[in-house]
Every structure is written in C-alpha cells, then in structure tokens.
Amino acid sequence: MRSAALMLTHHRRPVCLSLISTDLPIWSTLETAATLYQKDRDRFHVLLKAPPFPTTTAASPTKPLADSEREGLLWIELSPARAIATMQGQGQLGYRHFWEQGVYGTSRFWLQGDHLEPYSSLRLRNFTRRVQLTGLPLPESLRVEYELWSEKLRLGCYVLSLEIHH
C-alpha cells in the first residue's frame, strides 16, 4: 500500500537535459520544467514537454507543421540500474531508448504516416557502458554513457545527462 501512495508523490522541478557525442559533432541541451514522479523508493519517472521538432508534412514538404502538431512528451524512467526514455506525440516522430549498464539495449525510432498508413520503424542497438543515478531521497542527476550500433557499424559514443534542480 505504501508504494501506491508514493506514486502519487510528484514534484515540479527545473531540469537540464543534454545529449553529447564524444566522437561526433553532436551536442544538444534543453532547459525546461519537468514533473518528477516517485514510483517507489529508488524508481522515478520524469515527464517533460519536448520542444517542437522541425518537420514538414508529406503532402506539402515545404510547409512546416504547426508547433502544436510537433510538440511531444518525453517520459524518462529512472532507477539505479536502468533508464528508459520514450518520446511520443511529436507529430510524426517517436523514439524509445532502453539503457541498462553492461547490456545491449534497443533504440527504436519510428515515423508515423497518416492515420491510415502504418508506421515505419528503425531499430538500433546500444551498448550501455554506465548508468549513474545520484541524489537521495529524490534524484539530482542521471548520466548514461552508451555506444549506438547498427549491426556491426558503430554510430558513435554518447552521454545523456539529466540534471534535476531542487
């Protein structure tokens, strides 16, 4: 019964989310507010609104979608052993990453067409070198270090960092 009460516990916090490649010119940072939900003693969910992703419609490749059509929610599940990030509702783009230290996880990206069309997906593997969650009783930071792979081709090394300000 106690864990059910903890799931209702939530906190609104400013966060800084960054993705950096250690061997490619890729670097992105997002500073925003997020809602932190406590699932149980050391498991948390962080929900934040993702910024619009630049995209166009299939019918009119030169006409961008409105911001409301491109906004999405990023849901990050945190624990000391693993992290899962899921993006949904971002127009036609979605993704889900599963990271667990020392394990080959899945990174899945999908493009959704019109309501009548099926979606196309791309599955990649990631090898997670390190998952580090710090802070008690609420998390203060998450650091995930991983390699992204397509079959036998390495697509780079990355560091995902989430700082939760209290």
DSSP string, the chain: -HHHHHHT-EEEEEEEEEEEESSSS-EEEEEEEEEEEEEETTEEEEEEEEPPPP-B-SS-TTSBPPHHHH-EEEEEEE-SSEEEEEEEEETTEEEEEEEETTSEEEEEEEE--STTSPPEEEEEEEEEEEEEEE-SSS--EEEEEEEEEETTEEEEEEEEEEEE--
Q: Does domain 8-164 match CATH 2.160.10.10?
A: no
Q: What is the pTM of this model?
A: 0.81
pLDDT tens digit sequence for 115-150: 556 667 899 999 999 999 999 889 999 999 999 999
pLDDT of residue 54: 52
- What residue spans define the domains of the chain? 8-164
8 pLDDT band (50/70/90 cuts)? Answer: low
Is a pLDDT exceeding 60 seen at residue 63?
A: no
